[in-house]
């Protein structure tokens, strides 16, 4: 098994002081809407355009929000 170790970048400069600090940031990752997922599945299954698959999903109420 090949295990690779990763270390954090050094924060201390050669003189021993801290040159700059790295802050953690929260990146918001928005999931794809259920309608887009359903449209992609329909487009792949029936070999139609994604636009037509979106219309089919909208008319069939597939992948919409639950009330």
> What's this model's pTM, rounded to 2 decimal places?
0.52
13 in any annotated domain: no
In a domain, 51, yes or no: yes
Q: What residue has token string 């794809």?
A: 32
Give how far the C-alpha of residue 17 lies from the chain's centroid of Cα atoms, to the nearest Å: 38
In a domain, 21, yes or no: no
Query: Is 47 within a domain?
Result: yes
Would you say 35 and 54 are in contact if contact means Cβ atoms under 8 Å apart? yes
Instruction: Note the Cα 12 to chain centre separation in Å.
Output: 34
pLDDT digits (tens, 9 = 90+) for 22-67: 666 777 777 778 899 999 999 999 999 999 999 999 999 888 766 5
Average pLDDT of the segment spanning 17-25 = 64
Supply the range of the domain harboring residue 46.
29-67
Q: Do residues 64 and 35 touch, judged by C-beta distance below 8 A?
A: yes
pLDDT at 30: 75
Residue 9 has pLDDT above 80, yes or no: no
- Count of the separate structural domains present in the chain: 1
């Amino acid at each position: 098994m090949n295990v690779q170790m990763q270390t954090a970048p050094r924060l201390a400069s050669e003189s021993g002081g801290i040159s700059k600090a790295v802050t953690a940031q929260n990146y918001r990752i928005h999931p794809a809407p259920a309608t887009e997922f359903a449209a992609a599945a329909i487009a792949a299954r029936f070999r139609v355009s994604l636009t037509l698959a979106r219309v089919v999903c909208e008319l069939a109420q597939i992948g919409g929000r639950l009330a």
